[in-house]
Amino acid sequence: MAVCVRQSRNNVINHVKSKMGLLGLTNLSSSLNNDHSTLSTASLAKHLRNQSSAFENKPTLYRTRRFESTKPHQRSGVHSNGAYSQFLDFPGGQVAFTPEMRFLSESPKERIPCYRVLDDDGQLIQGSIDVGKEIAVKMYSDMATLQIMDTIFYEAQRQGRISFYLTTIGEEAINIASAAALTIDDFVVPQYREPGVLLWRGFTLQQFANQCFSNKDDDCRGRQMPIHYGSKKLNYFTVASTIASQLPHAVGVAYSLKMDGKDACAVTYFGDGGSSEGDFHAALNFAAVTEAPVLFICRNNGWAISTPTSDQFRSDGIVVRGEAYGVRSIRVDGNDTLALYSTVRAAREMAIREQRPILVEALTYRVGHHSTSDDSTKYRPVDEIELWRSARDPIARFRKWIESNGWWSGEAESELRSNVRKQLLDAIEVAERTKKPPLVDIFTDVYDVPPSNLSEQEKWLRETIKIHPQDYPSDFTL
């Protein structure tokens, strides 16, 4: 999908020239060169206040934060001090020489730690968290709604009422908590397991049902297979099945927001399998070089359909790859709603204020099958699945916390689940009765004036339907 930058080519060139002096690069203060910055909201806010003056009158397109100089100090390109040259001035900054031959280890001695706020019993590990009752209850309600929606639509597919479905069971916290930390102005470029972000933003249960049943009220006009949602109104790009193709697109969106001076960022989601695609590496490098305000949120659930992470890579997960590309990164417990909320909230502020990409690796588990076309018990131990379903369920864990605060009860739980189930069943009934989109919708919204070959295809299709009406839905509008 293309991202249109609303400036003419000449305007863009003049803008770059005025900001950069053609090839000029501006270095920020060395205090921004902290590769080990924490992501706590409090420390981030303090850091940003202290650095606010550093960003005044700075170019908005390109800034190098990493090195002090890229110009050689002497013709030979080296500094001499003592018995041997100690530094080499090389593009990107000074490189120290060493007489010791030393290879970098293929992996760190210890794995990168995982940030969490709630323990397995839903209790705060330490301190307090800045999350009030209203947002906490909404997060829990939407997580439960997402779980119920997945269960009912999955059953509808098994009954033959829709052709395909894919659940988010076990990954509800990543969906809802990350969405809660964003604003509606932030553009979401999803994979296919993030319907909760749409739910949080106001996509109705009826809209979900219309899309899955591909009727005439579907925002995509029936052109996408089920669960490939999209909403221009909610700044949610339409889902594409091609793995990782959304990642470079998200960087383009973020760069457009940056050029327009918007107080917003782009957010894209992908799984561990997506990190094995070339688009992942291209996107991270693209984002780092352009310093685009984009959040890469990886749902590392241990499996790329039937391929475990042990067969995908030897690195310590996904988080360590950020440093290689110059992208600030963090690993977080993907089943801890509060940890995810605070992480994404801080990451968003960093991305926009500092104009930089952020990589978030959320460790979680896909409890459900990959899709209705998959049987995960063929390649995963059943007891492993049940462990994550029962002992590590993000919804049950978060419920314990809001109940301990007196914000939720058994009565509220029963009422919520009963109401959501009824709304969903009613929505499915309506969606099922609604007519399919007219045939002409297949050929519209691409060309202003359809080319002759497209018109010929439409004519051929109409003739085929008339000859073989038994092969097409009876309510198909010609």
Taking alpha carbons only, the member of 174, 110, 138 closest to residue 339 is 174
Strands 84-90 and 93-96: antiparallel
Amino acid 385 reads I
**Residues 18, 52, 73, 155: which is the catalytic one?**
155
Tokens of 236: 């949610």
Active site residue 43: no
CA distance 27 to 29: 7
Edge-to-edge strand list for the sheet holding 78-81: 78-81, 84-90, 93-96
Taking alpha carbons only, the member of 30, 32, 14 closest to residue 22 is 14
DSSP 310: G
Taking alpha carbons only, the member of 147, 350, 166, 169 closest to residue 267 is 350
Q: What distances in angstroms separate CA 384 from CA 50, 332, 368, one per listed residue?
A: 47, 21, 12
Q: What contacts 22, CB < 8 A, 6 or more positions away? A: none
Active site residue 370: yes
Q: What contacts 329, CB < 8 A, 6 or more positions away? A: 319, 320, 321, 322, 323, 358, 359, 360, 361
Active site residue 241: yes
Active site residue 155: yes
**Residues 241, 306, 409, 455: which is the catalytic one?**
241
**Residues 172, 178, 370, 376: which is the catalytic one?**
370
Tokens of 160: 């033959």
What does 213-258 look like in DSSP terms, one character per residue?
HT-TT-TTTT-S-TT---BTTTTBPPP--STTTHHHHHHHHHHHHH
- Are the CB atoms for 250 and 241 separated by under 8 Å? no
Give the 3-state secondary structure of residue 428: helix
DSSP 161: S
**Residues 214, 231, 371, 376: which is the catalytic one?**
371
Dihedral sign of CA atoms 132, 137, 140, 145 in order: negative
What does 51-110 look like in DSSP terms, one character per residue?
HGGGGTT--SS-EE-S-S--S-SSTTSEEEETTEEEEEEETTEEEE--SS--PPPSS-SS
User: Vertex 41, ends 39 and 45: CA angle to 5°?
Assistant: 105
Give the 3-state secondary structure of residue 299: strand
Task: List active site positions.
Answer: 155, 241, 370-371
